[in-house]
């Protein structure tokens, strides 16, 4: 379960401004600090659960992701339900990008979504 919690912590980071508003930067920094210590450590995972449970919004978001059979964020897991866009040749696919150091994940939901650099390291995100 620790690895799943770490993945939730990585994936929630881009959504924090929408979920918690003004407290996003502080919570993001705390999550990043914990992820820097994590090596599939249960204690760090427990601390991340405590951080994410402080806000009803982050708690609900994390619970939805943990309940998803593919461990996808709520914004991504519903894409299959939307079917096809007019003029498209196929279903919508989200592309996962991650920090090479492993503490940040961004899902590109459309062509206009451009993954920025990792907010912790400033490095370019890589598909994967």
Quick check: 88 pLDDT over 90? no
80 pLDDT higher than 70: no
pLDDT tens sequence across 10-65: 999 999 999 999 999 999 999 999 999 876 578 889 999 999 999 999 999 999 99
Look at residue 87 and tell me whether its pLDDT is greater than 80.
no
SS (H, E, C) the chain: CHHHHHHHHHHHHHHHHHHHHHHHHHHHHHHHHHHHHCCCCHHHHHHHHHHHHCCHHHHHHHHHHHHCCCCCCHHHHCHHHHCECCCCCCECCCEEEECCCCCCEEEECCCCCCCCCCCCCCCCCEEC
Domain ranges of the chain: 2-127
pLDDT for 34 equals: 93
pLDDT of residue 59: 97
Q: What is residue 58's predicted lDDT score, i.e. its pLDDT? A: 97
pLDDT exceeds 70 at position 2: yes
The model's pTM: 0.83
């Amino acid at each position: 379960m620790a690895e799943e919690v770490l993945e939730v912590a990585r994936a929630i980071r881009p959504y924090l401004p929408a979920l918690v508003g003004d407290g996003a930067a502080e919570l993001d920094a705390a999550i990043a600090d914990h992820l820097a210590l994590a090596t599939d450590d249960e204690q760090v995972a427990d601390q991340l659960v405590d951080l994410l449970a402080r806000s009803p919004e982050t708690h609900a978001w994390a619970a939805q992701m943990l309940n998803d059979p593919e461990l996808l964020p709520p914004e991504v897991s519903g894409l299959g339900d939307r079917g096809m866009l007019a003029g498209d040749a196929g279903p919508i696919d989200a592309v996962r990008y991650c920090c090479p150091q492993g503490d940040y994940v961004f899902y590109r939901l459309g062509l206009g979504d451009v993954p920025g650099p990792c907010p912790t390291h400033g490095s370019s995100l890589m598909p994967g």
